[in-house]
Amino acid sequence: MARMAIKNQGNAVFPDRAAQRELKLEALYEHAASAFNEKGFHGTSLDDIAAALGVSKPALYRYVPNKQALLYRLHCISLDAAEAAVTEGEASPTDGVERLRIALYLYIRSLTASSSACLVLMEEGAMTGAAAAEILSRRRAFEGRFRTLVSAGIRDGSVAPCDPKFAVFSILGAGNWVSRWYRPGGTRSGEDVARIMSRQLVRGLAADPSRYHLDGDVRHAS
Amino acid sequence: MARMAIKNQGNAVFPDRAAQRELKLEALYEHAASAFNEKGFHGTSLDDIAAALGVSKPALYRYVPNKQALLYRLHCISLDAAEAAVTEGEASPTDGVERLRIALYLYIRSLTASSSACLVLMEEGAMTGAAAAEILSRRRAFEGRFRTLVSAGIRDGSVAPCDPKFAVFSILGAGNWVSRWYRPGGTRSGEDVARIMSRQLVRGLAADPSRYHLDGDVRHAS
Amino acid sequence: MARMAIKNQGNAVFPDRAAQRELKLEALYEHAASAFNEKGFHGTSLDDIAAALGVSKPALYRYVPNKQALLYRLHCISLDAAEAAVTEGEASPTDGVERLRIALYLYIRSLTASSSACLVLMEEGAMTGAAAAEILSRRRAFEGRFRTLVSAGIRDGSVAPCDPKFAVFSILGAGNWVSRWYRPGGTRSGEDVARIMSRQLVRGLAADPSRYHLDGDVRHAS
Amino acid sequence: MARMAIKNQGNAVFPDRAAQRELKLEALYEHAASAFNEKGFHGTSLDDIAAALGVSKPALYRYVPNKQALLYRLHCISLDAAEAAVTEGEASPTDGVERLRIALYLYIRSLTASSSACLVLMEEGAMTGAAAAEILSRRRAFEGRFRTLVSAGIRDGSVAPCDPKFAVFSILGAGNWVSRWYRPGGTRSGEDVARIMSRQLVRGLAADPSRYHLDGDVRHAS
DNA sequence: AATGAATGAGGGTTCATTCAT
DNA sequence: TATGAATGAACCCTCATTCAT
């Protein structure tokens, strides 16, 4: 019994360590992503991040091997969420324009869900070497899947004939921009923002725009 | 007579000097804006810019008092163009949604016209002090005028009832994003891009979207 | 009785502990000396040493109070061996040149016997304070005893008249250099190396060099 | 005439700049080599070197791209002198043992001539990458040429049969050691030191050691 | 007993800016 | 005028050392 208790304590302690570490890592990601977005990668010093976390600068190196790797990981987190969004959109049992809307909705929602998932969209140029190539290629593939959604929608008649390239630049550009102005705690939740914007943007591409009335989201429209 | 001749020569020479100076200044703005957009304000060194211009680093200080001021001037150039676009849109003798489309068209076109006019949209965070406040307030006013265009469109029935704030975030976000991917010399001119995107985006807001068919711009849609 | 049993157990266990500790300490010295020699004192991190030993970095502090002290102890080990060599040479019942040769032979052999005994000869500059002074003075005294051996040899006629200072610099310099290139496991044992080199070097100083023919050690001389 | 004068002044000014730069570069090399030798590469900070030169640390970067490159250049300087020494020895119109002595004499003399030429012999381990490989290979080739000199001496009968490898390790080790203790301004000039040591060391290898009597250099031998 | 975590000090390097020429 | 030279500040990163567990 005594042994078991000790053992349980022991068992309890180690997960705590790991859990604490995971928490700190997540906090690091959030702060770093937030800072990178606001001040840029090169404009953010590790001192800034460390100070925001309340630790010393060298402490960061227990969680991330270096600043470049930190940026790389944030990009990965961001892309993971983005790819999950488009995957779920693709798999939705509906017609082309709706699949597009769902993918866009989920993508924008992911951008509002956490700093780590969104706030480094603009800092692709700061990466170098193989990491840069990998991230760029994943980002391109992500956009390609959106273009495929548009093309499919054109084929099934639910999307108005248009150039998929510009269509996707439009909606993803507008979506990415969300990370610039959206801050949690405002009058609208991330879901609200994602719903409103995805409907508005997809309405511009729909073969039958009347499917997407915008009234329900009106505010201060008088 | 001799003096006059000399003076005339002088007159001929000095305007040349001034013109040359103006040319170099413009080249400086273009290179700097381009570099800031690609690598960020803090990621671009004055050495980079000087090298791209083929001059020494101290020579830059003949044209710009310091790096911050350079960024400030680029923002001013960018905002001048943006404000001119919205002004012309506001003054167009047509209904609300068309005024909105025209303003957006001109704005996007300005972004494609030159690096100096567009490529620093993302570097607001790098400015400090009074300059930052001024630029921010001008940018906010610019967006406000777009919101007013949307509200007016809703009132005159040409724009579907919607939240102007998100409507403007959408279309300007998509527009700003153009500066990230548009490079001159592609298959589409800046005018093309501006026309296609402005129609697509405004179609999503129009009370009667059928006014904005996208067919004419279809490419590879089969 | 119970106590004694316990004590006996203790006696059995504790010597083991102590012996194990001694072993680990020796391994630490070897690895540290080897690393210091290859990469220099400042070029070797405690992480390197800890990793080579398969322990954590703080564990090193159980064996050595700090890095400087580690260097100091290595110097002491090295000097102990060096002083023993010269002492045995001095006590040898023969003439001056032979006493010199024996001291040199034993000194060089000690350098080939273990990393700890030799490989920090070059890192005197890394020590500070009283430790540095002590080591330096011991090293100077060691050289002084060699000079005395030379002088005595000159007096008894077995060493050719020469400046003892340069004579000793020569033979000890050549000897110290052994620690740079000798690695155990080669075609020649440490004893071989010590014998060959000591004969060669002393031959240059001997009043009658014919006493030290080098033939026996010829290799690939054709 | 006036123009020519001006032009001459102009011509005079630019060489001055270049000459000054060359002087500062040489001073940098001397101080750096001296510091590297005394405190090791990793034990010497650029602050140290800059302070010794009376300039700020970033100023060093106008003369050397980085610390590693500085070490590399010092090695090159050192090897240039070493190779010149052996080349002159090889070309001397005399027998084998004398060619060896001359090469050794010139080599040792080069070590006493300037810090830059000698004081980094010990810091090969601090270099990395292609530079390390290049320096190592040059050093090996240098030693190989000395071994060839020994072998040739054995063949022509002027050097006693011996293992050239150990013979060269001895004399070059003793020579290299000079850089540890020789300081200009002592009672013996660099030429003295080189002459005394080269005779002493080669005497140990000569088939007829009586050719190299050491009396002339006796001091305090009583 | 042994280690993960943390940090103050310091090192190499870059850069915006100034100044003498 | 235009530039080579120089620098203070700041940045990324490493490391010897300590401490809580």
The pLDDT of residue B81 is: 95
* Torsion angle of C-alpha atoms C92, C93, C97, C101, degrees rounded to 10: -30
Query: Measuring CA to CA, how many Å separate D183 from each of B111, C28, C126, D109?
Result: 69, 36, 19, 12
- Work out the pLDDT band at A15, boundaries 50, 70, 90: low
Element (DSSP H or E) covering residue D126: none
The pLDDT of residue B219 is: 52
**DSSP secondary structure string, A66-82?**
-HHHHHHHHHHHHHHHH
CB contact under 8 A, B173 and A160: no
The pLDDT of residue A213 is: 85
> pLDDT tens across A81-120, in order?
999 999 999 999 999 999 999 999 999 999 999 888 777 6
Question: Does A191 contact chain B (CB < 8 Å)?
Answer: no
Write b or e for each residue in B147-178: b if 16 or more Cβ atoms lie within 10 A of its Cβ, otherwise e: bbbbbbbbeeebbbbbbbbbbbbbbbbbbbbb
The mean per-residue pLDDT over the stretch D36-56 comes to 94
* CA of residue D24 to C1' of nucleotide F4, angstroms: 14
Query: Measuring CA to CA, how many Å separate D206 from each of A123, B193, C92, C200, D192?
Result: 71, 88, 28, 10, 21
CB contact under 8 A, A126 and B221: no
> pLDDT tens across D173-184, in order?
999 999 989 988
Give chain D's mean pLDDT: 89
B164: which chain A residues are within 8 Å (Cβ-Cβ)? 220-221
Q: Is the CB of C57 under 7 A from strand E?
A: yes
The pLDDT of residue A118 is: 77
Question: Does C41 contact chain D (CB < 8 Å)?
Answer: yes
Residue A207 Cα, gap to closest chain B Cα (Å): 9
B162: which chain A residues are within 8 Å (Cβ-Cβ)? 200, 214-215, 217-218, 221
* CA of residue B62 to C1' of nucleotide F2, angstroms: 10
The pLDDT of residue C220 is: 46
- Is A60 a residue whose pLDDT tops 90? yes
The pLDDT of residue B2 is: 44
B34: which chain A residues are within 8 Å (Cβ-Cβ)? none
Question: Does A125 contact chain B (CB < 8 Å)?
Answer: yes
Q: Which chains touch A (3 or more CB pairs under 8 A)?
A: B
- Is D112 a residue whose pLDDT tops 50? yes
Spatial distance between the Cα atoms of B175 and B13, rounded to a whole number of angstroms: 43
* CA of residue D72 to C1' of nucleotide F5, angstroms: 24
Question: Does B203 contact chain A (CB < 8 Å)?
Answer: yes
Identity (one letter) of the amino acid at B99? R
The mean per-residue pLDDT over the stretch A151-161 comes to 97
Is D178:D193 a contact under the CB 8 Å cutoff? yes
> pLDDT tens across A145-154, in order?
999 999 999 9
CB contact under 8 A, B163 and A38: no
Q: Which of residues 127-166 of D touch strand E (CB under 7 A)?
A: none
Q: Which chains touch B (3 or more CB pairs under 8 A)?
A: A
- Closest CA-bearing residue to C1' of E2: C59
CB contact under 8 A, D174 and C178: no
Higher pLDDT among residues A217 and B174, named by residue: B174
Query: Measuring CA to CA, how many Å separate A155 from each of A86, A100, A160, B216?
Result: 19, 13, 9, 17
Is C44:C32 a contact under the CB 8 Å cutoff? yes
Q: D45 burial class (0-12, 13-18, 19+ CB within 10 angstroms)?
A: middle
The mean per-residue pLDDT over the stretch D36-63 comes to 95
User: Which residue segments constitute the domains of chain C, with CATH numbers given?
Assistant: 2-211 (1.10.357.10)
The pLDDT of residue B13 is: 56
Cβ-nearest to B214 among A151, A162, A175 = A162
* CA of residue D4 to C1' of nucleotide E15, angstroms: 41
* CA of residue A13 to C1' of nucleotide F20, angstroms: 14
Question: Does A176 contact chain B (CB < 8 Å)?
Answer: yes
Question: Does C202 contact chain D (CB < 8 Å)?
Answer: yes
In this prediction, what percent of chain A has a pLDDT beyond 90? 73
Give the count of beta carbons closer than 10 Å to the beta carbon of residue A14: 9
Max distance between CA atoms of chain A, in angstroms, equals: 74
CA D195 centroid distance within chain: 15
Nearest to C128 by CA among D32, D43, D122: D43
C178: which chain D residues are within 8 Å (Cβ-Cβ)? 169, 173
Question: Does A172 contact chain B (CB < 8 Å)?
Answer: yes
Q: C–D: how many Cβ contacts below 8 A? A: 168
- Which of A214, A217, A218, A219 should one mutate to test binding to chain B, selecting the residue with the greatest count of B CBs within 10 A? A214
CB contact under 8 A, D173 and C180: yes
pLDDT lower than 50: segments of chain B: 1-10, 220-222
Return residues 60-89 of A near B (CB < 8 Å): none
The mean per-residue pLDDT over the stretch A199-220 comes to 84
In this prediction, what percent of chain D has a pLDDT beyond 70? 88
CB contact under 8 A, B176 and A172: no
- Is A218 a residue whose pLDDT tops 80? no
Write b or e for each residue in A55-92: b if 16 or more Cβ atoms lie within 10 A of its Cβ, otherwise e: beeeebeebbeebbebbbbbbebbbebbbebbeebbee
Residue C132 Cα, gap to closest chain D Cα (Å): 13
The mean per-residue pLDDT over the stretch A57-63 comes to 96
Nearest to A116 by CA among A59, A164, A64, A188: A64
The mean per-residue pLDDT over the stretch A3-30 comes to 69
The mean per-residue pLDDT over the stretch A39-48 comes to 94
- Is C65 a residue whose pLDDT tops 50? yes
The pLDDT of residue A191 is: 95
> pLDDT tens across D94-107, in order?
999 999 999 999 99
Joined together, the tokens standing for residue C164 give 């003892």
Is B181:B124 a contact under the CB 8 Å cutoff? no
Max distance between CA atoms of chain B, in angstroms, equals: 76
Q: Is the CB of B128 under 7 A from strand E?
A: no
D175: which chain C residues are within 8 Å (Cβ-Cβ)? 173
Question: Does C205 contact chain D (CB < 8 Å)?
Answer: yes
Beta partners for residue D206, in sequence order: D159
- Is C120 a residue whose pLDDT tops 80? no
Residue B9 Cα, gap to closest chain A Cα (Å): 49
**DSSP secondary structure string, C110-127?**
HHHH-HHHHTTTTGGGG-
The pLDDT of residue C12 is: 55
- Closest CA-bearing residue to C1' of F15: C45
* CA of residue D28 to C1' of nucleotide F10, angstroms: 25
The mean per-residue pLDDT over the stretch D34-38 comes to 91
Cα-flanking dihedrals φ and ψ of residue A206, to 5°? -65, 145
- Is D208 a residue whose pLDDT tops 60? yes
Chains D and C touch (3+ CB pairs under 8 A): yes
- Closest CA-bearing residue to C1' of E18: B58
- Which of A169, A205, A210 should one mutate to test binding to chain B, selecting the residue with the greatest count of B CBs within 10 A? A169
* CA of residue C66 to C1' of nucleotide F17, angstroms: 8
Cβ-nearest to A40 among B40, B175, B197 = B40
* CA of residue A126 to C1' of nucleotide E11, angstroms: 25
User: Strand E: which positions are within 7 A of a protein CB?
Assistant: 1-21
Is A42:B48 a contact under the CB 8 Å cutoff? no
Give the count of beta carbons closer than 10 Å to the beta carbon of residue A13: 10
The pLDDT of residue D213 is: 85
Question: Does C172 contact chain D (CB < 8 Å)?
Answer: yes
Q: Is the CB of C91 under 7 A from strand E?
A: no
Residue C125 Cα, gap to closest chain D Cα (Å): 5
Give the count of beta carbons closer than 10 Å to the beta carbon of residue C218: 15
Question: Does D140 contact chain C (CB < 8 Å)?
Answer: no
The pLDDT of residue B22 is: 84
Higher pLDDT among residues B222 and C98, named by residue: C98
